[in-house]
A and B are shown apart, each in its own frame.
Chain A
Amino acid sequence: MHSLFILAAEVRDWFNQQAEALGNNGVAIGALTLSASGNEPGTHGWCAVQLSPEKEQEVANLLAANPDKAALIDWSKYDLATQPGFPQQRLAVRGLKVIQKPFP
């Protein structure tokens, strides 16, 4: 299963620190590419990753131990093979859009 994390700007640094501690070996969420309007500035970021059952449990334990942070993090699991559109659907549920940029 894939894990999708959508989170508010306030917890991005904390999330990245925890991801690094769990072995991500890099920044999990860089730019804030999501907002309610689909325009800048970004208010939320996201990442998707395949976690082992052991890592999933570690994440669950981490969020349970930090309810103030967990309240700002939306964690959902999906099957990348059968639900390729899940990330966009989840964004819609959360009232968020990918920020539309002009072609670079």
Chain B
Amino acid sequence: MNPFRRRIQTAMQQGGGAAAFSPLDISGLQLWLDASQIVGLNDGDPVATWSDASGNGYAVTQGTASARPTYKTGVVNSKPVVRFDGVDDWLDNGTFAVNQPCTWFCVAKRTGGHPSYGFVFDSVGADPTRQALIYTVGSTKWTLYAGSLVDESGTTGAVFKSIQAVFNGASSKIIVGGTETTVNPGSQNLANGVRIGQVAGAGGFVFGGDVAELGCYTGVLSAGNLALLQGYLNSKYGL
């Protein structure tokens, strides 16, 4: 589906008519995984493919049945999520890449998984081509990685949060539930694909929990656009 049709569909799904904001309204959207746009699955079905609603074709997939996450309806503000079991689930796309500066957004909740770190996303390749959004279990904080590991300043706990992550070297920031923390996660770009739900490499840090939406823009979004995105996520998920 082309981005324009997708935007109209999204607006209709949100019940807001043509005025409803869509992430497509901001230029530079590279990847948009939105559980509310998954079609053809019923509650409890395994997710083999999570299509990319950006129109760029970066669907994330899982060919191995035992490693597929689960589609769950009516989880957060009556919206569906993709649920990762915290044991061995993940999805990936082997070609996605994005350079710094870039801006990620996500709505997620960690409920289990590896006792140290849960990777919401990572690159498929190894350093120095990695960016990651991680839940750090010990400090119950959301964490960015692009060569260095840095936390948000607050404490999250096991609740749904909207997360915006601007990867921009020493001027990076992570915004969790509207609270902004300036961080420096390093300057690495993401290359060689993106993995959702697990660290790059087998048998590592597995995320257990729900992901409702995850997306990425090229560039640093303006404060106004970050606010628009935040408002969209807050409204959609009742945060």
Q: Which residues of chain A are near B149, meaning CB under 8 Å? A: 103
User: In the complex, what's the smallest C-beta–C-beta distance from B134 to chain A, in angstroms?
Assistant: 9
User: In the complex, what's the smallest C-beta–C-beta distance from B211 to chain A, in angstroms?
Assistant: 14
Chain A residues touching B, majority SS:
loop
Q: Does B3 contact A (CB under 8 A)?
A: no
Q: Which residues of chain A are near B114, meaning CB under 8 Å? A: 98
Per the CB 8 Å criterion, the residue count for chain B at the interface is 34
Q: Does A7 contact B (CB under 8 A)?
A: no
Chain B residues touching A, majority SS:
loop
Contact string against B for A residues 44-84, beta-carbon threshold 8 Å, 1 for contact and 0 otherwise: 00111110000000000000000000000000000011001
Known: A84-B208, A103-B149. A50 touches B111 (CB 8 A): no
Q: Does A95 contact B (CB under 8 A)?
A: no
Per the CB 8 Å criterion, the residue count for chain A at the interface is 32
Q: Does A39 contact B (CB under 8 A)?
A: no
B85 in contact with A30 (CB, 8 Å):
no
Given contacts A24-B65, A46-B87, 14 further A-B contacts (CB under 8 A): A24-B66, A25-B63, A31-B203, A32-B203, A47-B87, A48-B89, A49-B68, A50-B46, A80-B72, A80-B83, A84-B86, A84-B111, A88-B86, A101-B116
